[in-house]
Chain A
């Protein structure tokens, strides 16, 4: 696999329809390695759908998705026009880690098993190696002493940090965060954001759908404002938060920042 590529992730004209409802309209985005991008916007704007269609949890209606400059998937009118062979697709998808709003930890497995499961059964790595790495990751998210607990014994913030460790255990190149702090009690948000911030500083490529404006402002290299299925405005955090151009962005930011 060559490391020579311009964009680690790119979308061209991505659209998504649920029935007659157009959720995404012609989304174009290019992500370079190491970039941290935050996607903000009102609910129903299609932020989560966009993120989910990147790692194929949703099938796009039309558009192209490139991963490492390779055409990963090309669809028109709900028909696949072109795509990589299955194995290659699978391989590239493993480069994307995903963190969900509702954590989605496996409740019947301990914290350590949650982190180790996929590397062992998907990547067929040795159990000892994976466990060693998993313990380091749990240490990194500050939960090494919870390794043998079941998720139900953990707070939401702790569960989300386990979910981050679980995604990192696959050694992904990009991390997708789908409103990772929206389901958390306010006092637990900080711990999760801290982990994400450290991750960003370590050079991870990140796409975060978030309502945490402070986080976006501080950590993001680029902020996308999405509304009604389009990217209404994009720019550096500075541009978006201090001098938004689009009317929609202004209204949204006023509403959010006042609250």
Chain B
């Protein structure tokens, strides 16, 4: 590694460490759950105490902790409707029933729910990231096969790959999702949730996830095929000739010489495809998967909060930036020989 690269590298590492340390300090300074809940009004406290000895709970306590800030909301149902909200930050507890702190509290709550903190992979940002990553992974694999088919000298392979790519690029992804989720099981007489245990409370979600992944991967494969094809065709013809002159077969030439060189050229485009898929993943709201978009829309409809979409945008941006950074690193790693 060159000195200048080292310097750049260590600069990034130092920045990352500083940010992490600040976050840890802020996290440690944030008041705990007990402190937050101890701020409640005497009336609320009374009802909480009453709940403790009753089977019928009347107070709903929501507590969200987001790294450096936390939020608690207490609300009662029944005759005596009350609600109180608190935000904890930097050792202090703020009342969040009105004004700026109310908005801050809402943002913490929405972000918490959209990220899917404390939930499994079927929720919020976790779902979005899982679906996107798996889609691009399968998409690139499928795309490589399709690309090899398309540039193949065998007419039939080339035509079939071409038709596949034409079909999946020429129809809307949303309808492709519908076809996989509704039409295919309809024709063959099964349901996606049947793939999972009947007693699994999330079988429906998981089934829908599998369907979505299949639709996304098939679709992404068509786009990745073009990425892989153009990368392969950008490799100097001399490389094929040199390999052939050395007696390598077509398969050996592809796997050992051409594809390894194409990978580096693919990375910027795959990175681009990743970001496209990340955003397209919001289409899963149509088959009721709980990704970031669905959660934000649900919050909007159930709580009438038009502000929810702002943290949603920020979450998407942060994910995009993070993966952009990762792809950048991968590209550097593959560029050692240049």
Contacts and interface: CB of A to CB of B under 8 A. Distances in A.
A, B: real partners: yes
B46 interface: no
Contacts of A105: 242
Interface stretch (A28-36, A63-71, A89-97): A89-97
A150 B261 CA distance: 13
Contact of A107 (B241, B248, B252, B337): B337
A122 B247 contact: yes
How extensive is the interface on chain A, given as a class?
20 to 34
B337 A150 contact: yes
A150 B337 CA distance: 6
A77 interface: no
Interface in B245-264: 245-248, 252, 256-257, 260-261, 264
Contacts of A21: none
B238 A90 contact: no
Nearest to B242: A104
Given A100-B241, A104-B236, A106-B242, A118 B337 contact: no
A107 B338 contact: yes
A121 B248 contact: yes
B329 interface: no
Nearest to B338: A152
A166 interface: yes
Contact of B336 (A123, A150, A166): A150
Contact of B260 (A96, A104, A108): A108
Nearest to B238: A104
A94 B248 CA distance: 10
Contact of B247 (A93, A109, A151): A93
A122 B246 contact: yes
Given A100-B242, A104-B238, A108-B260, A94 B247 contact: yes
A90 B252 CA distance: 14
B239 interface: yes
A interface majority secondary structure: loop
Interface string A122-154: 110000000000000000000000000011100
Given A107-B337, A108-B337, A152-B337, A118 B241 contact: no
Given A102-B238, A108-B260, A122-B252, A57 B244 contact: yes
B241 A117 contact: no
A167 B236 CA distance: 19
A109 B246 CA distance: 15
A240 interface: no
Given A117-B256, A122-B252, A152-B337, A100 B238 contact: yes
Nearest to A121: B252
B337 A166 contact: no
Contacts of B242: 98, 100, 104-106, 163
Contacts of B336: 150
Interface string A167-196: 100100000000000000000000000000
A100 B336 CA distance: 25
A117 B261 contact: no
A170 B246 contact: yes
Counting from the closest, the 4 A-B pairs by CB-CB distance are A104-B242, A118-B246, A104-B238, A98-B245
23 contacts: A57-B244, A96-B245, A97-B245, A98-B241, A98-B242, A98-B245, A100-B241, A100-B242, A102-B238, A103-B238, A104-B242, A108-B260, A108-B264, A108-B337, A109-B337, A117-B246, A117-B256, A118-B248, A121-B248, A122-B252, A151-B337, A166-B246, A167-B245
